A and B are shown apart, each in its own frame.
Chain A
């Protein structure tokens, strides 16, 4: 399993400074979240761990080793499910294994296993267009899980879902994570989602994105969204984001 670290990271796109002096470290098996205003560079930071973006300054490290590119050990789950519309659920979910040359029988066995895990058992032959929003995102999580990665990177995975679906997906995500030892990094604009799921929340400022606060949440799970501690944290984060005095 892997630790994730950004060490003194800055990022510019041309003249646009997106990230500035970011220092974060996520331990093995930890569940971390990043919240921050839209456009502050959250996705950019996450994409560095996925190996899709390079820092302009500083280093992005996995297990202390600089990240050179994508790795099957670190899976990114995209904001919009990003399933291939021309492939069935089974083929979408099995893609990573297929690319790695895993034989078909073994592939299907593992795909079925992971589809069961995300409550999509039996939907093998469906095309993405035949699935609801929540099911699509489940399939996209399955596509990452089937690789059995050390790290799951989630970029606002439930942003496009309705509130009720989102709540049940959050519980499903906890089930997937608990006891797996996987390191999780979740980006969300939903403060409650971060508070409900994460051990540690990084609060980022508007562009250029900087970490303004790191908040540890020690409440045991499942957490009570209406508890006083929860409300206290929520107020604190809202204040840090300038949404409340």
Chain B
């Protein structure tokens, strides 16, 4: 096997075996109660049908649109707050308390409040995505900023860095790993609250809506297919897209060490 192929294969096979295990369990369930639980082949046949149906793409598009707005806003907001908290001790104390309170309220709890405020549609869902996912980002960046090496800052000062240059040349690159870790945790939160929000019903389109609709009409094939779709998309975005971004941005971390240490 050549190197490139191996690099793709190595992170892939654990996922494939894990996915296979779950599908196997499904198949076992099918063998036990064939009337209720559809077979793997039936589910995939259904997936094939849906992929050819514009309605499926419409609901996928609606979900990704909400994620595509909510998640970046959460990352930006969380990053900014985390950076400020990393620089100011008193703000850090405040932010930690705020996050402590927000964490004890499940994000979905905000939905009725937001629906009354904004009505049905995208805004309440996008808002709970932001609420649910800004704080892992904020916490991670706050810790990262507090951990910025004092010597690294002094090096830049001696070389003549002004405030803005310190931020760009030291704080940002040094906290970049924290931004990325934060984004990865935030993504999980964002995805969960997106689907939950759509299921609880602030929208009449989206993956969460589609699965809960399938449930209401006792369409088990559809339910299982949507579980697979939801899981596959999140796994792909988290473990492949974000992971690749991480390796690209933090190239220096993955470079092979030479020298004596």
A residues apposed to B, CB below 8 Å:
50-52, 69-72, 74-76, 78, 80, 82, 84-87, 95-96, 98-100, 126-127, 129-133, 135-136, 143, 147
A126 to B252, CA, bound (A): 9
B204 CB to closest chain A CB (Å) equals: 47
Interface string of B169-193 (1 = CB under 8 A from A): 1100110100000000000000000
Contact A130 to B259, CB < 8 A, known contacts A72-B160, A95-B159: yes
Judge if B21 is at the interface, Cβ distance under 8 Å: no
A124 to B151, CA, bound (A): 23
Within 8 A of A (CB), among B146-162: 149, 151-152, 154-162
Task: Determine if B259 and A99 form an interchain contact, defined as CB atoms under 8 angstroms apart.
Answer: no
A-B contact count (CB 8 A): 80
A82-B151, A82-B152, A99-B169 known; A75-B158 Cβ under 8 A: yes
Name the distance in Å between A134's Cβ and chain B's nearest Cβ.
Answer: 9
Please give the number of chain B residues whose Cβ is less than 8 angstroms from any Cβ of chain A in the complex: 28
User: Once the chains are docked, how many angstroms separate the CA of A75 from the CA of B156?
Assistant: 11
Q: A84-B173, A86-B252, A127-B252 are in contact. Are A147 and B258 (CB under 8 A)?
A: no
Q: Which residue of B lies closest to A98 (CB)?
A: B169
Question: Known contacts being A127-B252, A135-B259, is A72 close to B159, with CB within 8 Å?
Answer: yes
Beyond the given pairs A95-B169, A131-B258, A132-B260, 19 more chain A to chain B contacts, judged by CB atoms under 8 angstroms and listed by A's residue number, are A52-B154, A69-B157, A72-B160, A76-B158, A78-B151, A78-B154, A82-B154, A84-B155, A84-B173, A84-B174, A86-B173, A86-B176, A86-B252, A87-B252, A98-B169, A99-B159, A99-B162, A129-B259, A130-B258
Q: Does B217 contact A (CB under 8 A)?
A: no
- Does B255 belong to the interface (CB within 8 Å)? yes
Knowing A82-B151, A82-B152, the reply to whether A127 touches B159 (Cβ < 8 A) is no
A95 with B152: CB separation less than 8 A: no
Q: Which residues of A contact B14 (CB under 8 A)?
A: none
**Residues in B lying within 8 Å of A, measured CB to CB:** 149, 151-152, 154-162, 165, 169-170, 173-174, 176, 250, 252-253, 255-261
Q: How far is it, in angstroms, between the C-alpha of A80 and the C-alpha of B159 when the chains are bound? A: 16
Q: A84-B152, A86-B173, A99-B169 are in contact. Are A129 and B257 (CB under 8 A)?
A: yes
- Cβ B157 vs Cβ A127 within 8 A: no
Q: Among the interface residues B160, B162, B173, B256, which one has the most CB atoms of the partner chain A within 10 A?
A: B160
Contact pick for B156, options A86, A99, A132, A133, CB 8 Å: A99
Find chain B residues with CB under 8 A from A69 CB: 157
Tell me the smallest distance from the CB of A158 to a CB of chain B, in Å: 15
Q: Which residues of chain A are near B154, meaning CB under 8 Å?
A: 52, 76, 78, 82
B258 cross-chain contacts in A, Cβ below 8 A: 126, 129-131
Q: Which of B151, B173, B174, B255 contacts A127 (CB 8 A)?
A: B255
Measured CA separation A133–B259 after assembly (Å) = 7
Which residues in B have their C-beta under 8 angstroms from that of A72?
A: 159-160
User: Contacts of B255 on A, CB cut-off 8 Å?
Assistant: 127, 129-130
Q: Which residue of B lies closest to A132 (CB)?
A: B259
| Inter-subunit contact B151/A80 (CB<8 Å) | yes
Q: Which of A69, A80, A82, A98 has the most CB of B within 10 A?
A: A82
Q: What is the minimal beta-carbon distance from B163 to any residue of chain A, in angstroms?
A: 12
Cβ contact within 8 Å between B173 and A100:
no
- How far apart are B65's CB and chain A's nearest CB, in angstroms? 34
Contact in complex: B157, A70 (CB < 8 Å): yes
**Docked complex Cα distance between A85 and B255 (Å):** 11
A99 touches B260 (CB 8 A): no
| Subset of 22 A-B contacts with CB under 8 Å | A52-B157, A75-B159, A76-B154, A78-B154, A82-B151, A82-B154, A84-B170, A84-B174, A85-B253, A86-B173, A95-B156, A96-B159, A98-B169, A99-B160, A99-B165, A99-B169, A129-B259, A130-B257, A130-B258, A133-B259, A136-B259, A143-B159
Cβ of B235 to closest chain A Cβ, rounded Å:
29
> In the complex the two chains form, what is the Cα distance from A122 to B45 in whole Å?
58
Q: Assuming the A-B contacts A129-B255, A133-B259, A133-B261, are A100 and B151 also in contact, with contact meaning beta carbons closer than 8 angstroms in the complex? A: no
Contacts of B152 in A (CB 8 A): 82, 84
Q: Which residues of chain B have C-beta atoms less than 8 A from A147's C-beta?
A: 159
Least Cβ distance of B158 to chain A in Å? 5
- Cβ–Cβ contact B156 & A82, under 8 A: no
Output the least CB separation between B164 and chain A (Å): 11
Out of A70, A100, A126, A129, which one reaches B158, CB within 8 Å?
A70
